[in-house]
Structure 1
Amino acid sequence: MVVITGAGTGIGAATAARFATDGYTVVLVGRTEATLRRTAQEGPDGADMHPWVADVRDPGAVTAAVNGVAERFGRLDVLVNNAGTVTAGTVDQIDLAGYRAMMSTNVDGAFYASRAALPHLRAVRGCIVNIGSVAGLRGEWNQAAYNMTKAALVGLTNSMALDHGREIRVNAVHPGVTLSRRVLREALAEGTTLHERFADRVPMGRPGEPVEVAAVVAFLAGPDAAYLNGVHIPVDGGLTASDGQTNLYRIDG
């Protein structure tokens, strides 16, 4: 059985649907019951999906949720640390409330959930998959604090893989720009200036889809990844294969 934080929308919802399709019992953790219920209702036919309201920013709440899940279902095989938020801004411009929200959700939430899940995962030699970002591997303009939080997940993944590798596996998936929200779909629609700028940098010429990220998460949690530990997989259409320079030899406009 799998617990997915931030499972109400976007990559979290797509990941929940993928695990349900693969036959897992899926517990959807998040702060808003309505979105969690919608994810469960829109899941695949016959899905065994259960909303569970908890705020990952609260160590007591997330510990109670993880322990409650393990008690109710008898085990915990996979934890997906997906809950996250983003506020744009440079170090001197970012709103401090937004900064604290990102730190408490993106970093503290993953730490608290991992800490709570460890004893249950040890019992079954389970695994953790962290949802990072290419922003934590390379950095993005105007996202100083967000980049920092996602880089922290890289460090957490590496440290837990070392410290607990004889008991559980800990890996990370790092999406590039993914069409997880309507506003992104509109901003990156074909024909827009932003789409053209994006396509110039991404070898595959398009943003990712949540289901494409979910597929890699499911792979890392599954038996085919049994010897993968401390691995970081960018799901970015080849973006991080580049040194950042535009194609100097492109002459088709």
Structure 2
Amino acid sequence: MTQKTAIVTGAARGIGLATTDLFLAEGRRVAMVDRDSDILAEEAGKRDGVVALHCDVSDPDDVAKMAEDAVAELGRVDALVNNAGVADFGPIDDCDFAMWRRVMSTNLDGVFLCSQALAPALKAAQGAVVNIASISGLRASTLRVAYGTSKAGVIHLTQQQAAEWGEFGVRANCVCPGPVRTKLAMAVHTQEIIDAYHDAIPLNRYGSEQEIGEVIVFLCSDKASYVTGQVVAADGGFQSTGVGLPALRS
């Protein structure tokens, strides 16, 4: 087989769905992986060139079956995008162990499990891994003790993958989205939050799901053939300004 392929977790909506569509536009076959079987089936049914695989990435048995089925369906694995994640926010004092594990099991364990299960196929194809973290993994913020820590772990795990798998021709990079105009974000962000983000982001706006997907697809492409172990903040410049006050900008 010469047709390139990709596996995208959390593919039924948001950044994962936008990334799937960009891969399809390149002519790749895509395995869409998600634990929401109803939405997954609905979205996969609208697209040619995809296979829908139900999987909870926090479950080792589910992941092992997903990896086996994906390789059988696709024949090869040129790219793995570990996008599946959950967000559960709250003060440190209110974060019980159940909440901590709920976030860690999907956001960090899921990346580890999927990458490890698909490592043989990625090595055989000299493929690429892109893990989706967050600017919350780069800079601390209130209410994100579990979420931010899980994403910081994803960043370091990516660098471990790059260091160990480089000799096999496998590249591993990490994308850290900033505020993105997803349906979920718009449902929970008040106008006050939206205005504050616009003021704090140098580009003065949220990103789109497609804009994040474009970065992911580039890192999976041959155009990024010498890029590995990198952390890319796709955030409109939010990370670059650190704690700088918008009011002090000229």
Runs of 4+ in structure 1 deviating by more than 6 angstroms, as ranges, are none
* SS in structure 2 of the partner of residue 79 of structure 1: strand
Code of the aligned partner of 1:202: I
* SS in structure 1 of the partner of residue 151 of structure 2: helix
Whether 2:178 is the aligned partner of 1:176: answer yes
CA contact (8 A) 1:187 1:195 kept: no
Partners in 2 of 1:249 and 1:93 — Cα distance?
35
Code of the aligned partner of 2:171: R
Code of the aligned partner of 2:173: N
2:224 aligns to what?
A: 225
Q: What do residues 22-48 of structure 1 show as CA deviations (whole Å, max 9, x unaligned)? A: 1110111111211112222444xxx31
2:97 aligns to what?
A: 96
Report how far residue 140 of structure 1 moved.
1.7
Superposition CA RMSD, Å? 1.6
Partners in 1 of 2:46 and 2:241 — Cα distance?
37
Q: 1:250 to 1:187 in 2, by over 3 A?
A: farther
Q: 1:154 to 1:4 in 2, by over 3 A?
A: same
- Within a 5 Å distance, the mapping from 1:127-146 to structure 2 comes to 127-146=128-147
Partners in 1 of 2:46 and 2:248 — Cα distance?
46
Partners in 2 of 1:239 and 1:42 — Cα distance?
35
Partners in 2 of 1:73 and 1:228 — Cα distance?
25
**TM-score normalized by the length of structure 1:** 0.92
1:148 aligns to what?
A: 149
Partners in 1 of 2:206 and 2:69 — Cα distance?
37
- Within a 5 Å distance, the mapping from 1:194-205 to structure 2 comes to 194-205=193-204
Residue ranges of structure 1 left out of the alignment (5+ in a row)? none
* SS in structure 1 of the partner of residue 114 of structure 2: helix
* SS in structure 2 of the partner of residue 51 of structure 1: strand
Equivalent in 10, 15, 20 of residue 24 of structure 2: 20
CA contact (8 A) 2:51 2:73 kept: no
In proportion to residue count, which structure has more helix?
A: 2
**TM-score normalized by the length of structure 2:** 0.93
Partners in 2 of 1:50 and 1:20 — Cα distance?
12
Q: 1:249 to 1:31 in 2, by over 3 A?
A: closer
